[in-house]
Every structure is written in C-alpha cells, then in structure tokens.
Amino acid sequence: MNALDHPTNFADKLDDAVARAGNPCIVGLDPHLDALPEDFSRARDPQASRAERAETVAEFLCAVIEIAAGRVAAVKPQSAFFEMFGADGAHAWERVVSAAHVAGLLVIGDVKRGDIDSTARAYARAFLQGVDPRHAHSLCDAITVNPLLGSDSIQPFLDACRDHGAGVFVLVRTSNKDSALFQQHGSPPLYERIADAVVKWGCELVGERGFSSVGAVVGATHPRELAELRARMPRTPFLLPGYGAQGAGAADIAAGFTSDGRGALVNSSRGVLFAYKQPQYAGMHWKDAAVRALDAMVREVNAVLR
Amino acid sequence: MNALDHPTNFADKLDDAVARAGNPCIVGLDPHLDALPEDFSRARDPQASRAERAETVAEFLCAVIEIAAGRVAAVKPQSAFFEMFGADGAHAWERVVSAAHVAGLLVIGDVKRGDIDSTARAYARAFLQGVDPRHAHSLCDAITVNPLLGSDSIQPFLDACRDHGAGVFVLVRTSNKDSALFQQHGSPPLYERIADAVVKWGCELVGERGFSSVGAVVGATHPRELAELRARMPRTPFLLPGYGAQGAGAADIAAGFTSDGRGALVNSSRGVLFAYKQPQYAGMHWKDAAVRALDAMVREVNAVLR
C-alpha cells in the first residue's frame, strides 16, 4: 500500500455519495464543441491555439462542476472530447478531474479501455492507480472498460479495485442504435454472457452495502433487457446512459434499480450541459437552463423510484 | 478538404511502404517501464518528476525509431504506456509520433478506441483528423479500434478513412490468453461475425493495390483461425500481434498473408525493444541487441513468405 491507496470499497463510497446527494443522477461531461454556449465559442475557433481551445473546454466544464456539486454524487467526463486536443486536452482532463474532486464529486472516467493484460495494467495505472502521488488528484474513482478481450484483460482493473478502492463499469449492453449487432449475437446473446462474467469478476469485491465495485454499463434505451439484467446481476451497480438526449425517459430506467431503489446511476450529458438549446429553456442563460434541467431530472428519477 | 487531408488511400500507402522496406514487419512501441535499459532507468524512478519520466520514455522510443527507420514500414505506439504519465505522457506521445513521421515511418496508433457515434467522431478527430493543422504531425496514419458497440460506432472512423486517407485495424481475434471467452461465443463464433462486418465496412475503401483501408487485428497465436480468416477476408490487411514475446513464430504467421505474400503486418514489441534481456544477446548494448533481433525477425518472416 502506498500514498495513492484509498482502502475504502468503491461501491460503498458510491452508495454513500448517492445517499448524501439524495438521488442517483450523475452528469456526463461530454463537451461537444458545436453545442457549447456562446461564452465558450473560443473552443471551436480554428484561429485560437489548441491550448486556448482546450482551456476553454475546461472552463466550461468547471462551471458545470459547480452546478453538479451538492446536487449529484458524481460526474462522468468523456475522454474522447479531451483527447481531441492532444496533449492540451490531457491537461484540460486533469484540471477537470481535479476540480470535480475538490467539489466533492466522485469521478467516473468514461474511457472504455480494453487491451491485453500487460497493457490493461498500464491503463489501470493511468486512470486508477497513478505513477506519482503528486498527481493523485487527477485520478478517477472508477472508469468504464470494454470486455471484448476477456478475463485477463479485466484482471488488472479488478486488482485496482481490490488494492486501491477503485471501481469499474464494464460495457454489457450499450445505448447506441447498432449495439445489437454483436451484443445480441448468439444464444444466449453475448451481453448475457458478459453479464455473467461481470458478476463473477465482481463477487469478491462486494462492499458492506451489498454492491460490488465491478459495475455494468446498461443502456436505458433497452428497458426490457435492463429488467432481465437487474435480476441476473443483483449486486452489480448499473451505470445507465441514454437518459435525455439518447431517448430514454424516467420510466425506462426504473427497471435498472433494486427493489429498494438503489444500485444504479442515471447519466445525462447533453440534456444538462446543453439544456439552453431546448425549447422549454429558450432565452435562459446556459447555467440557469442546466440547473433547471438537472433539478427536473432529479425530480423525475426520484418520482419513479418512490 | 482542408490542410489536414491526405487524399491517398491508406492501404495503398501501407502496401507501398512495405514494398519499399522489403518486409512486412513493424515495431510495437510498448515501453514497459521495468524492462527499459539502464540508460533510461529514470523513467521508473519515483523521485523523478512525472514530466522527466515521460520524457525519458520518449527518448528511449526515439532511439528505437532510429533503429526502425529504413528497416520497416511502420511503428505501432501503444497509448496505455503514455497515458500512464497523464498530460506528460500525452506530450511524449506527440513527440514520438512526430519523430516517427520525420523518420519516414507510418504510425499505427494502438489505442483500441470504441464508443457511441458522437464520441467515436471525437476519437477520429483525436487520432486521425485533428482539430488544428498546426499539430498534424502528431496524428496517426491508422489506429486500432474495438467493434463491440457495432456499426454506428465504426462509421466515424470509416469517414476518416474516406476523407482523410486514414486507416483502421478492427479487433477481430486478439492474441491474449482469454480472448476466446467472448470472441468464440456463439455459432458461428462472434469473431467470424465481426470479420464479416469488417469486410462490409471496408468494401468501399479498397485502394488501387487491392486492399482496403479497413484492416483487422488477428492474433498470430491462433494460426488455424488466421488461415480461415485470410480466406474469408481476401482484401483486408491484417495486423498480426503476438510474434516473439507472446509466443507466435514465423511459421504461425504465414497463413495471414495472401498467396503472393502480401496483406499482413507482423508486429513485434518486446522482442525487439527488450532484446538485450534475451540470453542470445547477453552482454550486448540494448541498441545492438534490438538491431540484431529486428534483422533476425525480418529474415525469419521473409523466409516463410518465399
């Protein structure tokens, strides 16, 4: 154990943070350049330097973090939108992750990494363990991972869960339009086989609150499968993308929760960040629109859980 | 079309580069810290700053690039080993990719990204298209991608192939120990279904030399499947990992080539970079060992193809 270790079980930390927030919503930090409010138009200005553009994205997201702080348990930054700016984007990522921690939010890095074991170990160090305690503030509490390469590709992340109090959310059934092509392949379908592996991978990482640090990403856009998977994976925390912009509503996500209304996170990204573009918030400052949209989402989700 | 565009078809560029090198070998840049030669021990020194450590990794890889230049067509940097160093690693990545281009090598970024369409578009910009022509030298010529999310997650990369002369190598059958768990699932097995999708995705991106810009990653550790996939995917360039350290030999990779000895790349990473640790190169300077190991690999692979 070194200075980077956080011995508490991630699932316990998460359950605690959700209880304190009073809702299972999280805010996805997906800064689509075209949708950024006019105040941050420099991020899409080809005349500006790459560093200025990445910094502008970070400023926008730090303002979003101020809105999320105290309202929700966690944020989920999407690494692609940072990597777009190369090394400047990596600086912005670290600034945003650190700001979220300072604001008391858990950080779920949406990085969807997956590779052979020795490489997966390097990814676990990159996002969950770190190589230098002086940069521990820019590590994530959990990340999303892609299971296509099998058990040995997941083991380094499980080790990080066990030794560093980290969490992972494994892609099981994604929210996008063509997700069935491979995820439904075979009989039983591939996603069920992945689900069973996730349960197995997580069985030794169950915390005191009854959930494992090995979670699953299950699109809220597939409500029937969501209910089946909830029954199949009783101790697995679910991360439910697809709420809002991707088409899932509050009723669709209900099946993702346990009977006592726990065990799932509902993510909205564009629906909160770019709420100012929606007709019902027309004319409002982007921050006011984001606050209203997030408060409305919290109310809708909590109403379904009661 | 803007200044970032490279209108030539990637598959043609690759076939041409392989013909000029006189062999289909490529060097994987996977800088495992523990294996770095003593000259670069600063990379694993916890007292050194993260920036110094990442810079040391870049210096090692720039020396490897000098060895690779003129000997092989391409290098394949593995992003995990850079991401380990956070923003400092991203700077090192850009330095290494730029150095490879200056040395006349194609760069296949081993990043294995895969996400929903709007996010995949951001990844395509990150690695293949760029957001700023002033940083075009640090873009990759091709990247590896993970297909688990389906066709819509791949489309942005196909667009980059069409509009920017880029290439992709889709994971079909990976070289690791537990790869069968999901890749062999179903009947026909998932990897065959992925293979058929790769052929379909690539059919409009076939260049003048008869190969598509949409390639496949097929582990050389599965020689029987490799032969089946070669027959199934006649116009798909294969990227064959697993040579050397992962256990595949020259005879194992033969089945990955077309009957005229084209259409595949054979990657070795640790077998070249850390050749100085092998008994037959004992006492040799790491550079001399790497040169010998790479020259031996080229001879072995070419012998099988003749």
Q: What is the pLDDT of residues A55-85, one digit of tens each?
A: 999 999 999 999 999 999 999 999 999 999 9
> Does B176 contact chain A (CB < 8 Å)?
yes
Q: Tell me: cis bond preceding B188? Omega within 30 of 0 counts.
A: yes
Between CA B294 and CA B71 the distance in angstroms is: 8
* Average pLDDT, integer, range A270-291: 97
Pick the closest to residue B183 from A222, A89, A114, A56 (CA basis): A114
Shortest CA gap B20–chain A (Å) = 31
Could you list the beta-strand ranges (E) of chain B: 25-29, 74-77, 106-113, 142-145, 167-173, 214-218, 238-240, 264-268
pLDDT at A2 over 90: no
* Angle formed by the axes of helices B151-164 and B117-124, nearest 10°: 30
Q: Max CA-CA distance within chain A?
A: 53
For tokens 């990150």, the residue is B126
State how beta strands A264-268 and A25-29 pair. Answer: parallel
Residue of A nearest to B95 (CA): A87
Between CA B110 and CA B187 the distance in angstroms is: 29
pLDDT band with cut points at 50, 70 and 90 for residue B22: very high
pLDDT of residue B1: 38
Option in B134, B176, B185 nearest A152 (CB):
B176
Between CA B248 and CA B254 the distance in angstroms is: 11
> Does B147 contact chain A (CB < 8 Å)?
yes
The neighbouring-strand residues paired with B170 are B145, B216
Q: Tell me how many degrees the CA angle B240-B246-B250 measures, rounded to the nearest 5.
A: 55
pLDDT of residue A249: 82
Which residues, numbered 7 to 66 in chain A, qualify as contacts with chain B under a Cβ-Cβ cut-off of 8 Å? 30, 32, 46, 49-50, 53
pLDDT of residue A292: 98
Flag the least confident range among A287-301, B9-23, B71-85, B215-229. Answer: B215-229
pLDDT at A243 over 90: no
Pick the closest to residue A286 from A143, B144, A294 (CA basis): A294
Between CA B141 and CA B10 the distance in angstroms is: 7
Q: How far is CA B295 from CA A84, B59, B101, in A?
A: 37, 22, 21
- Which three-class secondary structure state does DSSP give residue B150? coil
Which ipTM was obtained for this model?
Answer: 0.96
* Angle formed by the axes of helices A286-305 and A50-68, nearest 10°: 50
pLDDT at A102 over 80: yes
pLDDT band with cut points at 50, 70 and 90 for residue A246: low
For tokens 């069409």, the residue is B162
**Within a 10 A sphere around the Cβ of B148, how many other Cβ atoms?**
26
- Which three-class secondary structure state does DSSP give residue B26? strand
**Inter-chain residue contact B178 with A114, CB threshold 8 Å:** no
The neighbouring-strand residues paired with B43 are none
Option in B50, B174, B197 nearest A135 (CB):
B50
Q: Enumerate residues 6+ apart whose C-beta is below 8 A from B260.
A: none
Domain B10-305 listed as CATH 3.10.180.10? no
Please, what is the average pLDDT of chain B?
Answer: 95
- Which three-class secondary structure state does DSSP give residue A67? helix
pLDDT at A245 over 70: no
pLDDT band with cut points at 50, 70 and 90 for residue A1: very low
CB B248 within 8 A of CB B283: no
- Which three-class secondary structure state does DSSP give residue B133? helix
For tokens 């810009």, the residue is B213
Flag the least confident range among A94-103, A232-241, A247-256. Answer: A247-256
CB A234 within 8 A of CB A190: no
For tokens 């299971």, the residue is A147
pLDDT band with cut points at 50, 70 and 90 for residue B34: very high
Burial degree of A20 (CB within 10 A; 0-12, 13-18, 19+): exposed
* Average pLDDT, integer, range B66-93: 98
Q: What is the pLDDT of residues B223-246, one digit of tens each?
A: 889 999 999 999 999 999 978 766
pLDDT band with cut points at 50, 70 and 90 for residue B248: confident
pLDDT at B24 over 50: yes
pLDDT of residue B142: 98
Pick the closest to residue B32 from B1, B70, B61 (CA basis): B61
pLDDT at A180 over 60: yes
Pick the closest to residue B225 from B181, B184, B170 (CA basis): B184
Residue A200, token pair as written in the block = 């197995």
* Average pLDDT, integer, range B275-295: 97
Would you name the residues of B annotated as active-site residues? 112
Residue of B nearest to A54 (CA): B131
Option in A87, A115, A178 nearest B94 (CB):
A87
- Give the type of residue at A153: S
Between CA B117 and CA B205 the distance in angstroms is: 20
B-chain residues near A190 (CB < 8 A): 182, 185-186, 190
